[in-house]
Structure 1
Amino acid sequence: EYLFGSNRRQTVFNIKEGQYDLDYIYHQRNIYNGTLINGYISSNRLDFGSRKLRLSGSVKTILNPVRINHSSFQPFEDSNGNGYYDVADYPRPSGVDSIPPIAIETLLKDQISPFEYAFGFDLELTEMIHAQGELSLWSDLADKGTKLIFGLNQRVVDYRHLNMGIIRFARVLPRIWHENLHFRAGIFQRAYELENQSSHKDYAVDYKINDLGISVGFGVKFGVTKNQIDFGLNLINRSDSFSSDKLITNFNLGISIGDLWFVKRRVKK
């Protein structure tokens, strides 16, 4: 995977001088890129009698850590209050074009270095009922002393996700109406650790979030191409380093649509 992108940050300082109300604007721009590599493995060699067990795993790591080309532009006085740099502002652009002064360029290396691994299983209890689970862990291996200077507050440096559930799949060739239905239920736990940008009692500490939840849902298959519409409900108890617990309700609606492509080949004469 090749990661690339850019973002801009604008900081406005408002200063009142008597009857004058002036904005001083400071622009920053970041262009970033990096390369990741993924690996996957799965096996269905294990079984318990007639019950099949599929195991899977994945690893995601870096080839080139994310680096950032940072551009910092000279602040200017927005004299006419239009929010961008033009000939009415101070300092005035050179010539007739509204070209800002040359930016100060900085190359920041090894800004983000993600590493992730995951393990999962799928145990076939019956033809239609499966027990599934997954554990995934993600962390940023970049130097914790490195400070990102573009607008990211409390970036995630560690993440853990664990879920287990029971799924009843719809039958491939349903004989009665309820065999078109797909049911699922499970429990999950998520934990985030955010960079120590939060202040607690005048000193910086790591900010952690923990989610514990249950999920239920069902889907309905329809159409010749086995389209499916899904409904899901998550109830999540969230706690963090400073606040009391809170209950989050999340409702999901999704649809998957298939299509048939008929290719007709003409016989050459």
Structure 2
Amino acid sequence: MLLRIKVVLFSLFALLSVGFSQSLMNAFGIGSPASNFDAASMGTSPMSLLPSFQEGVSISNPVTWSQLHYTYLTGTYGGQQSEIQSGSIKNGRTYLQQIQLIIPIKKKYAFGLSIAPNTNRLYSIIGVENLVDDGIYGDSLTVRKSVSGYGGIASLKPSVAFPLTSLESMAITINYLFGSSRGITSISIDGTDYIQKEQDIYSGTIMKLFFHSKRLNYKDYGIGFYLSLERALKPLSVNRISHQPFEDNNESGNHDGSYYSDFPDLSLIPDAIQSNSIGEIDPFEIQVGLDVNIRPRLHILSEGSHWYDRGDNGHTVSVLNDKIVSLDQISFGLALFSRRLPSQILNQFHYRGGFFAKQYTLYHK
């Protein structure tokens, strides 16, 4: 089954705290992939491969950073609303998208360092109440199951860019993934909650290569070709700590002691069970884009990407026993950049517009 998701996004430059709201997509696999947009890309494409910050520069593509005139420190805070195809489930969230330092060197080289969320695992799924025969006294029990979780994966990304020829350049980004999330499973029987808590710890390393060529042209149109490839140097591993279930008599949601203490007593709790490498995520991604300069300052931008997970057991870390195995994206945009030294106020602004589409595929559907 394919889940088609309509996404409405906005971004603002800001250095603000992070906040997430709940989404069903966050419960699949290691969570919903975060969209690490820079604000300038929002008018044209979600992939941020093509120049949109200014003419010839994308904040999210290190191969273009050598065209910057100054060192930049940027932060992006944004929001997203998603709707599952049936229209019956809508979710929104706001989040810190990226904090980034970029240092151009002699118009040829560049270095950058950024930190951004990689996936989000904030979710809450509450089942319907069911009447179950107790099998002994002929009574009916009211039973309801719910699952929830929070946390996610962050990424630290150093990048370096350098020229290959006078018309080609290249950049390398190493993405260090780290983080943790917590999951809570609760079964309510006639108003009494029985709770089990788990903690997942993540680690992995991903390399991404960027390539840019100015060799292409058509008539008087300059064409910039952009390519990026991503693969895992160390697949993302998931280690899990499972705590013993308990009866939440005082309705605190935590296993604690009080006058009406939870069961079993804190002194009788067995040690938590640690399971190493219960799941593994091995991503591969290719992105391709064209930047066509049709008039001075006016560019047509088009790009597409395909991401998929080559790991075979990542679904096992999900409360839904499923995961996102592929994500396809395509976009088309138009950008009119400002003049270098504008004399009129209207020429001091960048104008951008475009559309994009995303399609997710799940492991079991």
Check whether TM > 0.5. Answer: yes
Question: For 1:163-198, what per-residue CA distance to the aligned partner results, in whole angstroms no more than 9, with x for missing partners?
Answer: 1222211212223332223323334332221232xx
When normalised by structure 1's length, the TM-score is: 0.63
Counterpart CA distance in 2 for 1:136 and 1:11 is 36
Aligned length: 188
Give the deviation of 1:114 after TM superposition. 0.9
Give the deviation of 1:37 after TM superposition. 0.6
Moved more, 110-119 or 133-142: 110-119
Counterpart CA distance in 2 for 1:3 and 1:161 is 23
Task: Indicate the residue corresponding to 2:141 in structure 1.
Answer: none
Of Structure 1 and Structure 2, which has the larger fraction of its residues in helix?
2
Task: Indicate the residue corresponding to 1:65 in structure 2.
Answer: 235
Counterpart CA distance in 2 for 1:121 and 1:28 is 45
Structure 2 counterparts to residues 181-192 of structure 1, below 5 A: 181-192=349-360
1:45 partner SS: coil
Counterpart of 1:89, as a letter, is D
Establish whether residue 7 from structure 1 lines up as the match of residue 181 from structure 2.
Answer: yes
Q: Relative to 1, partners in 2 of residues 1:27 and 1:46: Cα closer, same or farther, differing over 3 Å?
A: same
Counterpart CA distance in 2 for 1:139 and 1:54 is 26
Unmatched tracts of structure 1, length 5 or more: 197-205, 207-269
Structure 2 counterparts to residues 1-269 of structure 1, below 5 A: 1-16=175-190, 21-87=191-257, 88-94=261-267, 100-108=269-277, 111-143=280-312, 146-151=314-319, 155-196=323-364, 206=365
When the two chains are superposed, the root-mean-square deviation of aligned CA atoms in Å is 2.2
Give the deviation of 1:154 after TM superposition. 5.1
Q: Relative to 1, partners in 2 of residues 1:188 and 1:85: Cα closer, same or farther, differing over 3 Å?
A: closer
Q: Relative to 1, partners in 2 of residues 1:71 and 1:119: Cα closer, same or farther, differing over 3 Å?
A: same
2:216 partner SS: strand
Counterpart CA distance in 2 for 1:42 and 1:170 is 23
Counterpart CA distance in 2 for 1:37 and 1:66 is 12
8 A contact 1:111–1:148 mirrored in 2: no
Moved more, 116-125 or 145-154: 145-154
Task: Indicate the residue corresponding to 2:159 in structure 1.
Answer: none
When normalised by structure 2's length, the TM-score is: 0.48
1:131 partner SS: strand
Q: List, as ranges, runs of 4+ consecutive aligned residues in structure 1 with deviation greater than 4 Å.
A: none
8 A contact 1:65–1:110 mirrored in 2: no
1:171 partner SS: coil
Give the deviation of 1:61 after TM superposition. 0.5
Larger RCO, structures 1/2 (Cα 8 Å, 6+ apart): 2
Residue identity over aligned pairs, in percent, reads: 34
Give the deviation of 1:75 after TM superposition. 1.0
Give the deviation of 1:140 after TM superposition. 0.7
Bigger-Rg structure (1/2): 1
